[in-house]
Every structure is written in C-alpha cells, then in structure tokens.
Amino acid sequence: MKKMKKFIRIIGILVTGVLISVNLSSCTSNKTVTASEQGGAQLWANNCVRCHNMPPPNAFSDYEWDAIANHMQKIAGFTATDVNKVAEFLKSANH
Amino acid sequence: MKNYTLKSGTILSLLLFFVVANSFAQHSEISQIPVDNQSKFAMVGYATANYFSKGGDGGFMSSTFNPIFVYKPTDKLSFNAELEIVVEDPEAWDGSLALEFAELAYQLNNNMTFYAGKFLSPIGTYQERYHPAWINKSINGPIAIMNEVNGIKRLQGDSELGMGLKGGFYAANARLNYNVYVTNGPKVNDDGSVDWNNVGPDNNNSPAIGGRIGILPFSNSTFELGLSGYRGKAGDKSAYSNVNVTLFAFDLNYVKQTDYGKFGLKGQYNGQYLSDGTFPETKIAFESFNNNTSASYLQLAYRFPSSKFELVNRIANFNVPNQVTWGADQTRFTTGIDYWLSWNTVFKLGVDFANNDSTGIGFTFAMGL
C-alpha cells in the first residue's frame, strides 16, 4: 500500500511538471490558429506522432489512405472533418 | 428477469440513440462529402520476431504476424479486423490463431460513430493504441496492463464483445474524444481473479458498461489526459452471482519535439475492485477479503536529434491482495535502446528487472505493415 501511494505521488509530481511545461510551450506557439481551424498538414504533424512515427505521404496509395485514416479516426477519436482533412493532405502530398 | 430487462433496456437505449443521432446527421458536414463509389481497402498491421532470455536459462524465440484489414466501402460504413498468428513454441511448432478484433462501424455524424463487434479494450490507452510491437517502444508490455508473468493476471482484456458509440468534438480550444460501450463483461475465477478475455457468450445475462473520455487541452495536441471507467457483474448465474467488478483507469501521453530531441512520456494506472466475495482457491478459502488490485506504468522515451537511436525507460508497478495466489506485489523496471530502420521498422534491445523475478534480456525486430 505504501509503495502504491509513493508511486501515485511520483506520477502526480510528473503530471504537474508536464502540465507546467506544456502550458509554457503553448504560450510560445502560434495562437492565431485554434485546434479546430488547423489544416490537414498540421493535424497530421501534431497527432500521428503522439502514438507512432509519422508515415510519409507516399507510404500508401490514395485509396489506402482513405481506409487507414478512417481506422485512425476510430482509434484516436477524431472528428470526421479532421480525419478527412488529414486524408486529403496525405493524398495531395502523394502526387 | 431483472438482469434481462436491464440488458434489453441498455441495448434499446443505444439503438434509440443511434437512430436519433443519425437523423441529425442528415444536416451534418459528413453527409455533404461526396462518395466516389470506390471501396477503400488496405492491409496494414505488424510482424515481429522476438528473443527473450531470463535468469540465464537460455532464450526462446517467438514470432507473430498481425494483419489488420481496414475497409471503407462507403463514406459512412467501415470494417476493421485484426488477426493474430503466433508461433510460440518452435520445438512443437505450436502456435495460435486469434481474432484480435472485428469491428463494424457506422458514422452517425461528424462527432459520433456507432460500432459493434469485437473491439480492442478501450480502458486506458495502452491496449487500444500502443500495444502493436512497432508502436510499443519497449521489448515487452507493462505488467498486468499488457503482460502476464509469474502467474500475474491482467487487469484488462485484449478485446471486448459488444457495441458502443465513440467520436470526438471540440470545447473551446481543447479537443475531446470519448467512447461509451456495453459488453458481455468479464468473468470471475475461483481464485478471485477476473477473466477479462471472456469474449464468449455472456455468462450472467448482465452487461458490463464502460467508457473513456480523453482531453487534449492544448491546440498543438501534444498532451492528452484520459479517464476510463467500467462496471459489470462478473459472477456466473450460479457461482459468485453477486460479485461485481469495477475498474477505473487514468492515462496520460505527452510528446514534445525539441532541438535536443524528441521526448515521449506515457503512463496508465488501472485500479480493479471486486465486491466482497469468498473464493475457494485463495490462501484463506471461503473467507471474505478486500479484493482490490492495481497496476500502473510510466514510460519515458527519448530520441536523439537527427538520429535513428531512441532510449526507452519504463517503470511498472503491480499491487495485489496478500490473500490471492495469482502473483505478488511487483515493481518492474525495463530499459532499452531502439534503432529505427525506417518510420515503422525497429530493432529493440532491452533489459527487464523486477524486485522478485530474475533479470531478463530481450530483442525484438518489429515491422509495421
């Protein structure tokens, strides 16, 4: 029980540190573009990397990107609009 | 009868929600997206070759092939499924073939998808997002959340069988994602552990209900916090009929690209609570005890700037009641180095230490497909 409390305390300290650092970093970021206004390229750059390395646009064909983006939408909880923006960016960069 | 009514009521509520939400979809953005009458299909997935040696007892090899089929026949319909083919014992050529998930989905509107079938456990984020070997940067999974060693039982399953609603939306500058679902639920064992991979027919005619909400508070989406909950009856109709299981999980993810390299912090805490029950296969057979178990991990990865090398360190913790026989309290530390051949192909070398287990060394060659 003691170990668990200690572990939770460590996680708490780390989370606090992360929040502070993220808050500081967001102060210096581009504030003119809100999350919902971002384009496909920015959504791709910001979100894919949270779980895995970013795939290059030419990794898959256009039809494959449509199916894969749809799969990613289900896993990461994107809106349909956002995931369509990402798919359109990947397809346009593919040509 | 009461359970049957509850189950029917829950399922009917979900279906009613499906119809109502779909009616709103007629005016949503997605209904305006043209369909080009071309089916969209891809086979992705991953493959691994693994070597692991523990306590100087020599090593063993295993190999896995996990094809994932993603299919989008129309703008709103999709089907995603994963098979897992594993060779576990080369001497006996013994392996297994399993259906990891098979999920049919229908996009109701811009913010919501209805899904049904067998789906990856949405508790926390590890199982749903990070468990594929080319995404998981470490040589193994966190104890009890993914990994079972020394008799330790997991505190969540690979998959669930049921249906639900999931999606995402914006609130001010924050992005949120959610998932609510109804499943057949887990089963409780005679030793007081929970069988989370109980994906056959419902053992007690009583559904389990679960959900997760994640928030990405900043516009650059580099930071996510998530909270999951799950509750259901775990006992069979006859044995342990009053035993309920409650699970909650907390997860976090932070990724930051800097001039000094890329940092990635991931963590999850699972707390599992069984209502009081007596179980014959415990150290105090037929006496009641607080059957509460928890598991957690925190992983920090660092990739050197303009380099193919990445360092990975993970600490994981497991706490179990003294009365049970399926494992003991454990703290496990796993450290390793990855070498990325491409964006989705990696060599992983790591060492695994535990306070009450032999040290292990592992090597994994993983490729995303």
pLDDT of B4 > 70? The answer is no
- Which of B301, B292, B215 has the alpha carbon at shortest distance from B252? B215
Q: Tell whether A13 is covered by a domain.
A: no
CB contact under 8 A, B174 and A47: no
Q: Of the candidates A15, A77, A84, which has its C-beta nearest B166's C-beta?
A: A77
Q: Give me the mean pLDDT over the B112-128 stretch.
A: 97
Range from A20-24, A42-46, B364-368 carrying the lowest mean pLDDT: A20-24
User: Does B243 have pLDDT greater than 80?
Assistant: yes
State the average pLDDT over residues B189-207. 81
What pLDDT is attached to residue A15?
Answer: 54
Look at A51 and B71 and tell me if their CB atoms are within 8 Å: no
Token pair belonging to B65: 């092939």
Closest Cβ–Cβ partner in A34, A63, A81 for B38: A63
Q: Average pLDDT for residues B239-265, to the nearest whole number?
A: 93
d(CA B265, CA B255): 6
**What does the CA dihedral B166, B172, B175, B176 come to, rounded to 10 degrees?**
-40
CATH class of B2-368: mainly beta
Q: A32 in contact with B at a CB cutoff of 8 Å?
A: no
Mutate to test the interface with B, among A36, A53, A84 (most CBs of B within 10 A): A53
Cβ neighbours for B75, distance < 8 A, ≥ 6 positions apart: B30, B33, B34, B35, B107
Judged on CB neighbours under 10 Å (0-12, 13-18, 19+), B346 is buried
Q: Are B218 and A11 inside 8 Å of each other by CB?
A: no
Residues 51-70 of A with CB under 8 A from B: 51-56, 59-60, 63-64, 66-68, 70
Token pair belonging to B6: 């509850």
Interface check for A20 against chain B (CB to CB < 8 A): the answer is no
pLDDT-based confidence at residue B17 (cuts at 50, 70, 90): low
- Count of domains observed in chain A: 1
CATH label of the domain that carries residue A82: 1.10.760
A89: distance to nearest CA of chain B, Å?
16
What is the pLDDT confidence band of residue B282, given thresholds at 50, 70 and 90? confident
Asked if the structure places residue A90 within a domain, the reply is: yes
Q: Looking at the predicted structure, is the pLDDT value of residue B28 above 50?
A: no
Confidence of residue B49 (pLDDT cuts 50, 70, 90): very high
What ranges make up the beta strands (E) of B304-356?
A: 309-319, 330-342, 345-354
Mutate to test the interface with A, among B219, B260, B299, B342 (most CBs of A within 10 A): B219
By CA distance, what is A57's nearest residue in B?
B343
Q: What is the mean pLDDT of residues B269-288?
A: 86
Q: Which residue has the tokens 């102060």?
A: A27
Query: Looking at the domain assignment, is residue A30 inside a domain?
Result: no
Q: Is the pLDDT of residue B12 over 60?
A: no
pLDDT for residue A21 is more than 50: no
Strands (E), B222-277: 223-233, 244-258, 261-277
Kindly state the average pLDDT of the residues B31-43: 65
Q: Is residue A29 part of a domain?
A: no
Domain containing A69 equals: 38-95
Please check the confidence at residue B270 and state whether its pLDDT lies above 50.
yes
The mean pLDDT value of chain B amounts to 87
Whether A4 maps to a domain, the answer reads no
Q: Does residue B205 have a pLDDT over 90?
A: no
* Domain presence at residue A3: no
A62-76 vs A80-92: helix axis angle to the nearest 10?
150
> How confident is the model over B151-194, as pLDDT tens digits?
788 999 899 999 999 999 999 889 999 999 999 988 888 888 89
- Residue type (1 letter), A89: F
Cα A61 from Cα A1, distance rounded (Å)? 52
CB–CB contact B222 A33 (8 Å): no
Between chain A and chain B, the number of residue pairs with CB atoms below 8 A apart is 159
At B140-152, the pLDDT tens digits run 999 989 888 777 8
Contacts of B104 (CB under 8 A, 6+ apart): B77, B78, B79, B115, B116, B117
In a domain, A42, yes or no: yes
Could you give the percent of chain B with pLDDT greater than 90? 60
Instruction: Give the pLDDT score at A22.
Output: 44
User: What are the tens digits of pLDDT across the range B289-336?
Assistant: 889 999 999 999 999 999 999 999 999 999 999 888 888 899 999 999
Q: Quote the minimal CA–CA distance from B124 to chain A in Å.
A: 12
B110/A79 CB distance under 8 A: yes
